[in-house]
Amino acid sequence: MENPRQFKVFAGSKGGALAKGICDELGCQLGQLHIDRFSDGEFCTYFEESVRGQSVYLVQPTCPSSDNLMELLLMIDAAKRASAYKVIAVVPYFGWARQDRKDKPRVSIGAKLVANMLQAAGADRVITVDLHAEQIQGFFDIPVDHIYGSNVLAPYIADLNLKNLIVASPDVGGSKRASNFAKKLHTMTDHEVPMVICYKYRPDFNKVSEMRVLGDVYGKDVVICDDIADTAGTLCKAAEVMKEGGARSIRAVVTHGVLSGEACKRIENSALEELICTDSLPIDPARCYKLHIVSLATSIANTILAIQNHTSVSEANMK
């Protein structure tokens, strides 16, 4: 590492565990940040050490509730006002990313609004993981380093040595993501990894009424690939359809385990043998016995080093 004193890493209230892992990888101490909370719900943030002239990395997912986004904005503003050289928002989970377009009249484009807010607060750069739609990077007028969750999810699947491995996309929209995941597994295992696609009809948000599999899963070890598990309704429905199709084993890999509402209970009662997700959000593994978490700490640490040393971010994450 070159000139380690030129940057510092801080964490918001939802980014502490991941930030600690990042600092362990970087061989540095996690910076001291304090958050004061008032009885009316308002809060303020301040740094307990100097950040003057430093590149400051602020680790905070913008997960529910919106307080976490506001906390990140205040952290950015505090760093700018404390004369930080650069402020880099490390947003492992970029909330509101599913609101990336006007899919019906008179709706907001939440992803664009959040991008504007981060820039208005003073962010010079953003590091994020598996945006729901990659074109969201175009909502920013500052550099965005987009890390792929497959960097840590694919090695876990490869190490299982599944003999009849096949990758499934839970919907048509995720086919590119699943295809890239299958190619990565093919490179790692030196075996051809075919892919199937689920067709689903969704009458309303978070509801799936009908699903069919386009392809053969009989006797296969299926890995369903998606970016977000929110209510987990789609994943569990896909697993059920795969099981009916004769799949030998069914797992799911997702980057962001939102797991809202009855998601954990739904997963435990499903045909899924395992749900593998990253630590882009703070998740307690005890919530679901089928849950396995892999860390993004190394990927994000490699990205930080690449930025600091002015080298390729993509090459850094291929190590």
Residue 200 a catalytic site member:
yes
195 phi, psi to nearest 5 deg: -140, 145
CA distance 77 to 46: 10
DSSP result, 82-134: TT-SEEEEEESS-TTTT--S-SSTT---HHHHHHHHHHHHT-SEEEEE--SSG
Q: Which of 200, 265, 290, 319 is catalytic?
A: 200
* Exposure class string for 116-126: b at 16+ Cβ within 10 A, else e: ebbbebbbbbb
Which amino acid is present at 173? Answer: G
CB 310 within 8 A of CB 293: no
CA distances, 106 to each of 97, 101, 102, 103, 109 (Å): 18, 11, 8, 9, 10
CA distance 225 to 121: 34
- The two tokens of residue 178 are 């699943």
CA distance 26 to 7: 11
Which amino acid is present at 237? Answer: K
Q: Which of 305, 271, 275 is nearest to 288 (CA)?
A: 275
Residues designated as active site: 200
